[in-house]
Chains A and B, each alone.
Chain A
Amino acid sequence: MTGAAPAEPLLAVERLSVDFTTRQGVVRAVRDVSLSLRAGECLAVVGESGSGKSVTARALLGLAGRTADVRAEILSFEGRDLRRLSPGQWRKLRGRRAGYVLQDALTSLDPLRRVGDEVAEPLEVHGLASRDTLDEQVIELLAEAGVPDADVRYLQYPHELSGGLRQRALIASAIAARPSLLVADEPTTALDVTVQAQVLDLLKGMKDAGTAVLLISHDLAVVARLADHIAILYGGMVVERGPAAALLAAPAHPYAVDLLAAVPSLDGPVTEPPALRSAPPAETGCPYAPRCSLADDRCAAELPTPVPYGPDRMVRCWRPVTDETGRRPRPAPPAQPAPARGRAVVTVRGVTKRFRSPDASWRTAVDDVSFDLMAGEALGLVGESGSGKSTTARIVLAEFEPDAGSVLLDGQAWSGLRERDRRARRSRVQLIDQDPLSSFDPRFTVERVIAEALPGRSRGDAARRGGRDRVVELLGEVGLDAGLLGRRPGQLSGGQRQRVAIARALAPNPEVIVCDEPVSALDVTVQAQILALLARLRREVGVSLLFISHDLGVVRQVCDRVAVMKDGAVVEIGEIDTVFRSPRAAYTRALLAAVPRIDAGPAAGKLASAMDLKGPT
């Protein structure tokens, strides 16, 4: 990206728009999007769910669907006008000239077919392999994508592979025909950080070998590692576009600023997440106006035109952020009162849990785990998938009985009891799940979901006898208004649902809330809001949190202490700053090193000035 060689871009998109005709009317998923991508470069398209980033990617492959109306002034790839392609020509292009990697490899690879058959499909479809050499080619491709023992793996089924290997197999199938463009739609979202880092390295290797990579992501930190250019989408529009380093160092659009600020960082001071308003994108005027702290009447009325902003940059905003107006360092949160560490609420001692595998062998999920959760404390439990953190949480919730060891609640036995003896104290420990939608009865209203958890009321009567006041109060505590009382879970946004889940967990005045990946399904700006809410509730209500997450940055935002788990055992436990600054266990170091950071990757050098800007003053 020296800019010296203005070669013809491989992919050029001018004023792309995609409309979907639904029963409710026309949905304008993508509006006026312009992009370009050269060979050997990576363009990242970043936005939250519903921003139109996936639709953009699919439109470029002719996969937007039958109900989509795709229009563009220019839509060219390798010098061909994609607007004029027949279905047959599209098929010849897909898989051959442009590969596509979807998010979740478990569902993106056909679960009923062998991995090798899936990787071989592009070769078969495009007649690139003879029967004799097909197996060899597939094994080679898998090995190239970093799948160890490829000659064994290619005969296995997707469910027999780990998430990382599945994603590699999916990438192997996308690059099988050596396409010049690779479109990767959230290729690392479901993966652990260490695996995520490996997959990003794999994509980087392809980029360096001359493949153009169009990377779709909701995560600026992931993108920072790979992207040469970034386009930020909001409400179906590119709100800002530019070279990655410059954009990350000094974002100009208020949304880009908020997005960047919402990424939980591993270093620097823990800052109060910005108080972001949540509102759907506006139909008229600037789509971000309803959420923008800088918006004025003009923003609400008139759609901004894209304006150049520095070299090679564009921003679609009437009031682009300058250092004076927006990129101020965020304030530190009110000092956490040092939690009184006197009393342990939950005591876990030598807990071990084993499960029977399908092949009848035993697997130790939790291995001799001990820790204390103090009153008013937030303890983080981090580790990769399969590290036993969720099983530990379920044992603290007394959903599983430990095979060995014990759990005490307030110094009294909690494990090893009959359910009947535990029931009276059940309400003291509450759970917030990753996906509240599946933990709510879809036919219940919000009021009923929360009222059900209120103490000492028969469920049906809660609403009628003053329970409503308490429900409204709880909704207020989590930042929702009473207007939502009559809604059903399916009508709420992801952030609203998680707030309702928190309100429900608070309803019986618990001493402990177990949060199992409470924000991992949320967009990063919503995630920041929920984390801020949890931090505030802990200060105000004084409840203890056992906070399970695979995301170290998230844990740092909320917790006082952290326990790092690996293969069922706690490898390190301590004060969060100590553990993050000087980790003792090698595994903790590896975990920390793998976390994507904004200041890493191609942008690293140029971000020095930005760090001054964002650092504490």
Chain B
Amino acid sequence: MPPLARWLSRRLALTLLVLWGAATLAFVGMRLVPGDPARVIAGGVQAHATPEVLDAIRERYGLREPIVVQYAVFLGRLARADLGESYQLNQSVGGVVLEQLGATAALAAGAALLGFALALTLALLTAGRPRARALSRAVEFCAISTPNFWIGILLLTVFSFHLRWFPVLGDDGVAALVLPWVALALPIAGVLSQVTREGLERALDQPFALTARSRGATENRIRLRHALRHAALPVLTLSGWALGELLAGVVVVETVFARQGVGQVVVAAVNGRDFPVVTGVVVLAALCFSLINTGLDLLYRVVDPRMRQAAL
């Protein structure tokens, strides 16, 4: 088997392990939460379900089986990519999530793009320029230390209520996406821009940058053609973290902007103890995370030719 295929298959095995771990943790976590699942399914603790109804529910969802059997059944379904039925929505978990995935993906992907673009621009403009750097660092620290929801609320107050540039709520089109994108992107951009700038500055200090200058290359050329690639390595390392932040931020931002999406589904499911939905989303998030990180590791090898020879 060629090394790359061997590496990929190993990564795949690792991904499966991660999925199993995430699913197990979610399963255990939801079972540790106090409360009778049957009552949740019957409409919550306040609802007055008769013992017969509860019994019927337990029978139907297999809740009377020993926990080990329930776990085995759960894993068996998972292996067939069946995430189960929602307790409350009368829909398969897969269906629920798929329905909302588009909106969330648009939000997350847009925010990621915006975050990276902001970070790169800021870093390229301020690297090695002490005054610009000081100013930029101050702004970045503000962005990093302000929570998403607060940025969201500020943005809404200024741009929707006062200036009326963007709609306050709703899902209609790109206009409604702009403020959520910004709210999600700012904290990520703050961190990534610092890392990118540090990488750029380190690269600009290297002898090869001096050599490039000695060839008559312009400052822009040195930054874009030489230093940026070197700065990309630490940024790639942090990208995995940034995407995790993004997934967490989506939940908050969807709530603040009252948007449809997987985040909202999770919030509703956690509040309503809708175990299968929570578990399903956790497993999907883990899958997403694993795939993205595998992709990032592949990107490393594209950016740094020295990695291609390194042991896989």
Contact = CB atoms under 8 A, between A and B. Distances in A.
Interface of A: 61, 63, 91-96, 99-100, 102-104, 107-113, 118, 121-122, 125-126, 157, 159, 170, 173-174, 176, 358-360
Contact of B214 (A100, A107, A113): A100
A176 B215 CA distance: 9
Contacts of A358: 309-311
Nearest to B312: A358
B226 interface: yes
B305 A125 contact: no
Interface string B175-194: 00000000000000000000
B304 A104 contact: no
Nearest to B305: A157
Interface stretch (B77-85, B153-161, B204-212): B204-212
State which size class the interface on B falls in.
Answer: 20 to 34
25 contacts: A61-B214, A63-B214, A92-B216, A94-B213, A102-B210, A103-B207, A107-B206, A108-B210, A108-B211, A110-B211, A110-B226, A112-B229, A112-B305, A113-B226, A122-B216, A125-B218, A126-B216, A157-B305, A170-B211, A173-B215, A174-B215, A176-B215, A358-B310, A359-B309, A360-B3
Contacts of B230: 112
Given A157-B305, A157-B306, A111 B208 contact: yes
B217 interface: yes
Contact of A109 (B211, B214, B225, B309): B211
A239 to B, nearest CB: 27
Q: What 6 A-B pairs are tightest by C-beta distance, nearest first?
A: A100-B214, A95-B215, A95-B216, A94-B216, A122-B215, A110-B208
Contacts of B310: 358
Interface string B274-312: 000000000000000000000000000001111001110
Nearest to A98: B214
Nearest to B229: A112
Q: Is the interface of B mostly helix, strand, loop or mixed?
A: helix
A44 B206 CA distance: 25
Contacts of B226: 110, 112-113
Contacts of B207: 102-104, 107-108
B164 interface: no
A111 B214 contact: no
Interface in B216-230: 216-218, 221, 225-226, 229-230
A240 to B, nearest CB: 28
Nearest to A90: B216
B216 A112 contact: no
A122 B211 CA distance: 10
A63 B309 CA distance: 35
A409 B304 CA distance: 45
A92 B213 CA distance: 11
Nearest to A359: B309
Contacts of A121: 212, 215, 217
A94 B211 contact: no
Contacts of B306: 111, 157, 159
Nearest to A112: B229
Nearest to A109: B208
A98 to B, nearest CB: 8
A92 B218 CA distance: 10
Contacts of A126: 216
A100 B310 CA distance: 32
Contacts of A125: 215-218, 221
A91 B213 CA distance: 8
Contacts of A176: 215
A102 B211 contact: yes
A102 to B, nearest CB: 5
Given A107-B206, A111-B208, A359-B309, 14 more contacts: A61-B214, A91-B217, A93-B216, A102-B210, A110-B208, A112-B226, A112-B303, A112-B304, A113-B225, A122-B216, A125-B216, A125-B221, A159-B309, A174-B215
A173 B226 CA distance: 15
A324 B218 CA distance: 55
Nearest to B211: A108
A94 B214 contact: yes
Contacts of A107: 206-208
A103 B214 CA distance: 13
Nearest to B213: A63
Nearest to B216: A95
Contacts of A100: 211, 214-215
